Amino acid sequence: MSQNDTEQLQSEMKSLVSRLNEASRAYYAQDREIMSNLEYDRLYERLEELENRTGVILAGSPTAHVGYEAVEELPKERHERQMLSLGKTKSREELRDFLKGHRAMLSWKLDGLTIVLHYGGGELKKAVTRGNGEIGEIVTNNAKVFQNIPLKISYQGELTLRGEAVISYSDFEKLNREMEDSAVKYKNPRNLCSGSVRQLNNEVTAGRKVNFYAFSLVSTEGIEFENSREKQLLFLKEQGFAIVDYRMVTEDTILSAVEDFEREIQTYDIPSDGLVLSLDDLEYSRSLGTTAKFPRDSIAFKWADEQAETTLQEVEWSASRTGLINPVAIFDPVELEGTTVSRASVHNVSIVKSLALGIGDRITVYKANMIIPQIGENLTRSGSISPPACCPVCGGPTKIQKNNEVESLYCINPDCDAKRVKSFTLFVSRDAMNIDGLSEASLEKFISRGFLHHYSDIFHLDRFHEEIIEMDGFGEKSFQNLMDSLEKGRHTTLPRLIYGLGIANIGLANAKMICREFDYDLEKMMAASPEQLADIDGIGEVIAAAFCSHFREERNQKELELLLPELLIEKEQVQEEALTLTGKTFVITGSLHLYDNRNALKEEIERRGGKVTGSVTSKTDVLINNDTSSGSSKNKKAKELGIPILSEDAFQEQYMKK
């Protein structure tokens, strides 16, 4: 198969994986269909055909789901070959002189976390971080949920390669907006990526959109690469790996190639802090050996950041919805890398102190990796700026808190508007009260006008009828739609209510587990000890402590006391003997006639202690499909694994009448 054919097939596979997963999310999580079962099965079968043909199964493929797993710690392992750092230069001429007449590969130096992957028998066996170059941490479970690592490859021998795990700028900005206290933990995509790859629970990693780009083959057997590093990289590409972008260069072309990369980095979405130049000739590279620190066949080129001197005019303290207050430097505008810059995040109090910032100070600014504005140094260091004692949003008291040796400023007023907007946004969200018509922007307006102080106030917005219909984006019809949605939102379930209260670490799934354990009795749940909660399968000590701590606070008790009279909570009478499906896993597919939709059947199964998943695996007990004789992919998989396929009526008769 030619290189071009391989690329086309892998491109089609990536497209199929994306389309099928999108359809599955719509089908199982959102109760809507974006393609027919016939179309889904056709695409699924095409994906299976391509996987069999290429021998490659991509991460995220619906044909090979990876389960989530939490560990207590990441085990460490010594690398078979020490991972040396690269010598560095900022001189383009030195980069050219390095070649000495040889052909070489010039590629991005990606700014993420270096990972070593080991394959055997065509399967991913192990993934290890670079660590200190000699000893790294084993992150195999996490690597399996990266966006693009192939779980299976066509090559059946032993294979070891290196690459960079990265999170793109666009995904970083989106994820950081969604994460609690992200500004404390993660200042840039590299830090977020490092924290994501080294998670103890790979379900967290799966949500962080980590991608992997191979940059070198370490070892393999029985493959002839014609003494070329480029051929090694192309071999990895044939196996389904995304590879780092590169150009093959000589002394005559390297300077123009560097200029090409320099232009591209302005819009390049993957973090890069320079370039890497590696000689293509493998035998010659080996003959050069290494120094005590660096290999002699490669060198890193670091961008000489364009800097400008300017005057600091103020530090703006910007409050977030988590209570974190971020310092932002405002300075006289300067031109950097072709754009005008006048603001730069200072990130936290520790950096404000280390730079000794003061109004009127002369500072140097630059764009880190030619992208993100940063303060380089403070030339006058007056140190006159102190963190504000009052929150810029609510005027309440602030407090400096230390987290991982980093000092950050927080608003400690629980009623701060910035915090309340986030709380109300969660409360009205789909998995909580599911109230349409209350966007975050609308909630901000209502809170700023004093309409909302407690969750219960949401159900009395009719008091402000005249004011609301005069607001931008509202009118009589919009107002009436909101009233209808509020009335509908009064009818809810206890798990939705618990989730909507915004208790730290409590998602809807955890809320369901806790409610089920205490027979949907709210008083029992609130009176439970941390030890009782921690004993629930899937809860643990951290979640138990957060749950108990929340209900110990008087203000939270008062909030719930005001809210409960506004709600009509569906009473779920659950007897221990009714949990007839405990320990069983089901998959639902196709249309239903006894239940309104798949979510309704899913909720009934969960109410009886069972579990519903989206794909058929060896852990599935029953596939529910009214078309038991169809040739769908789920039916085929169930038959292969010897899993019963039951119609809705047969399932009802066998499992729901007990």
Active site residues: 109
Token pair in block for residue 92: 């383009």
Distance, in Å, from the CA atom of 196 to the CA atom of 329, rounded to the nearest integer, reads 28
Report whether 228 contacts 280 (CB < 8 A). yes
CA dihedral 329, 334, 335, 341 (to 10 degrees): 30
Contact between 44 and 62 under an 8 Å Cβ cutoff? The reply is yes
In angstroms, rounded to a whole number, what is the distance separating the alpha carbons of residues 535 and 539? 7
Q: Residue 104: name the closest of 93, 94, 95, 113 by CA.
A: 95
Amino acid at 455: Y
Decide the pairing of beta strands 57-58 and 123-129.
unpaired
> Quick one: CA dihedral 174, 180, 186, 192, positive or negative?
negative
Angle between helices 508-517 and 598-607 (to 10 degrees): 40
Q: Residue 644 has which token pair? A: 């019963």
Please state whether beta strands 87-89 and 76-78 pair in parallel, antiparallel, or not at all (unpaired). unpaired
Residue 327 and residue 346: Cα distance in Å, rounded? 5
Q: If we measure between CA atoms, which residue out of 641, 639, 589 comes closest to residue 40?
A: 589
Compute the C-alpha angle 480/485/488, nearest 5°. 130
**Of 558, 433, 63, 220, nearest in space to 231 by CA:** 220
SS3 of 331-398: the string is EEEEEECCEEEEEEECCCHHHHHHHCCCCCCEEEEEEECCCEEEEEEECCCCCCCCCCCECCCCCCEE
- Computed over its alpha carbons, how large is the radius of gyration of the chain? 29
